[in-house]
A and B are shown apart, each in its own frame.
Chain A
Amino acid sequence: MELIWDGIREAARLWWAGDAQIIEITLRTLAISSAATALALVVGIPLGAVLALRRFWGRGLLVASVNTGMGMPPVVIGLLVALVLWRSGPLGGLDQIYTPTAMVIAQLLLSLPMVVGFSLASIQSINPRLIGQMWAMGANRWQVLWLLIRETRLGLLAAVMAGFGGAISEVGASLQVGGNLAGETRVLTTAMVLETGRGNFEVAIALGVVLVVLAFAVNLILTAVQQRRFIT
C-alpha cells in the first residue's frame, strides 16, 4: 500500500518539478500516437465508407479481416513490422527500424482496423435513401464522403477515440520496432516496462499516472466535441 502512495506522490513531484525527461517522453508519446491516429483516419474513413457503401466480390472477407484486425494483439503487428524493417528484412535498407517512424507504422496498423470498423458501422447505419439523394443532386464522391463524415460524426469520433486509445496504450509493438531508445523512441508505456524491470516502481507508477491522465484528457476533449449539440 505504501508503494502505491509513494508512486502517486512521486508522480505529483515529478510533474510539479517539471521533470524534463517525463515531459519529453510525454510529448513524444503524444506526437507518435497522434501521427499514427491521423494517418489511420485519412486512410481508414474512406476505406470504411467504401466497405459500407459498395458491394464487390471479397467484401465479406475484407469486413471479416477488419473485424479480426480490431482484436489483433500488438505483439503480432510488432513482430510483422520488425521482420520487414530489420536489416535482414525486405525493407531493411530503409534504416527505419528503431525509429519513431517505425513506431508510427506499427501503431497505424494497430489503429487502422478500429477506424475502418467504426466508420463502416456508422456509415452503414445511415439511411441509404439519403445517399441516393446526394448522388441525385449531383454531388461528386468527395462531397458525398464529406457529407457522410458530417452525418456520422458521432460514430467517427468514437473511431478516433478507439484508434488513439489503441495506439497510445500498446507496448508490445512499440518495444519491438522502437527499441525503447532513450531520447529517441522511448514512450510512456515502454518507459514503464523499463522502470518496472529496473525495480523503480515509484517512477513506473508515476509514468502510469501520466499515461492515464493523458488518455483521459484527450478523450475528454473528443467527447466534448462529439456531444456538442449542432444547430441544424
Chain B
Amino acid sequence: MRGGPVRHGSLLLCVSAFAVLLVLAALLTSCASEINEDELILATTTSLNDSGLLDDLAPIFESETGVSVKIISVGTGAALRMGAEGDADVLLTHAPDAERALVENGDVSSRTLVAYNDFVIVGPPDDPAGIAGMRDVAAALRQIAVHGASGAAGAAAFASRGDDSGTHKKEIALWDAAGLAPSFETDDWYEEVGQGMSATLTVANQRGAYTLTDRGTYLALSTDIAELVPLVEGDARLLNFYSVMEVDSGKGRINSEAAAAFRDFLLRGDIQAMIGDYLRAEYGRSLFIPAGGETESAVAERARAE
C-alpha cells in the first residue's frame, strides 16, 4: 500500500479547499448581483411556443427596446413556479385559477389578459361514445367515462396530458364539472401521457382516443393527426385565456422595467392586431383572438353571444 495518512490528508485538503472556493464564489456573486437590464426571461407554455407566435413577436420587442428576450418554454406548472421563485421576469400562461393564486400570494405584481382561444374535445371519427356535436362539455365527458367503463369492444379511451400544464389543469376542472375524477390507476380507459400537447395528440391519434386540446396546437398539427376530428366545441367552459404576469420586484433580481415594457408591448394595438392575424390566412381562422386588458367574464359573454 502506498499513500497513507499523509496523502489522505492532502486529498482532504484539496476537497475542502474546493468547497471553500465554491462557497466564496456563491457569496461573492450573491452580493455583487445586479439586475441584468439587457435581458428579459419570459417563462411560457409549450402550447404557445409551439405555435411559433412568440418567435415573430420577440424580435420586434428586441429591436424596439434593445432588451433580448429569453423565451423559456415549459409547462404552465413550471412557468408559474419559475415566477414564484423569481427565476423569470415575466410569465405568459393559460391557467386562470393557478395564476390568481400567484396574484394573491404577491408573487406577481400584475396579471392582464392578452388573448384567448378555445379548447376542443377531439376524437376518432367513428366516435364510439357518440359525443359528436354535443354543446355541454361536462355531459360529453360523462358519456366518454360511461362508455369507457363499460369495457365494450372498441370502447373509448381518453388520453390526458397528465403533466400539470394549463391544459391539464383545464381538463381536471372539466372532469370536476362533470362530477368525476378519473385516474389512470383505477380507470383502464383513462391514460396519462405526461408530455406536451403535440405528443398527447399523436398518442391519441395512434390509439383512437379522445383528448382535450387547445385549438392552436390541433390546427397546427391537423395534417399529421388526420385520424382525430373535433367533436365537442363551443361551450363557454372551453375558453382558453392567455394572461401576461409581471413577477414581483421583491423576488430578487427581477428586470421589472423590461417586464412592464413587455406587458405594455403585448397590449399595444398593432401587436394585438398581429396576434389576431397570426396564421389566420393559413387556417381560415385566428389561432389567438386578441383580448388585451379585457376581463374573462366579458370575453365569455361575447363568446356566448356569437
Contacts and interface: CB of A to CB of B under 8 A. Distances in A.
Nearest to B225: A199
A90 B55 CA distance: 31
Contact of B70 (A91, A94, A181): A181
Interface stretch (A32-40, A49-57, A68-76, A210-218): A49-57
Contacts of B46: 197
A198 B202 CA distance: 11
Contacts of B133: none
A88 B66 CA distance: 25
Nearest to A96: B29
B85 A86 contact: yes
B198 A55 contact: no
A13 interface: no
Given A91-B25, A197-B198, A201-B224, A56 B41 contact: no
B7 A93 contact: no
Contacts of B253: 87, 92-93
A198 B52 contact: yes
Given A94-B29, A197-B196, A55 B1 contact: yes
A92 B30 contact: yes
B252 interface: yes
A180 B32 CA distance: 28
Contact of A199 (B1, B25, B221): B221
A91 to B, nearest CB: 6
Given A55-B1, A93-B33, A98 B87 contact: no
Contacts of B39: 95
A180 B73 contact: yes
A153 B190 CA distance: 55
Nearest to A184: B70
Contact of A55 (B2, B22, B31, B70): B2
Interface in B1-48: 1-4, 7-8, 11, 22, 25-26, 28-33, 36, 39, 41, 46
B290 interface: no
Contacts of B235: none
A182 interface: yes
Interface string A195-227: 011110100000000000000000000000000
Interface residues of B, number: 39
Interface in A94-123: 94-95, 97-98
B162 interface: no
B70 A86 contact: no
A94 B253 CA distance: 12
B72 interface: yes
A194 B199 CA distance: 11
B177 to A, nearest CB: 29
Nearest to A57: B8
Contacts of A46: none
B296 interface: no
Contacts of B52: 198
B87 A86 contact: yes
Contacts of A54: 2-3, 7
A182 B69 CA distance: 10
B164 interface: no
A87 B70 contact: no
B44 to A, nearest CB: 11
Contacts of A91: 25-26, 29
B215 to A, nearest CB: 14
A172 interface: no
A58 interface: yes
Given A87-B252, A198-B220, A93 B41 contact: no
A194 B52 CA distance: 10
B292 interface: no
Nearest to A86: B87
B77 to A, nearest CB: 15
Interface of B: 1-4, 7-8, 11, 22, 25-26, 28-33, 36, 39, 41, 46, 50, 52, 55, 70-73, 85-87, 196, 198-199, 220-221, 223-224, 252-253
10 contacts: A56-B3, A56-B11, A93-B31, A95-B36, A182-B55, A194-B73, A197-B46, A197-B50, A198-B198, A199-B50
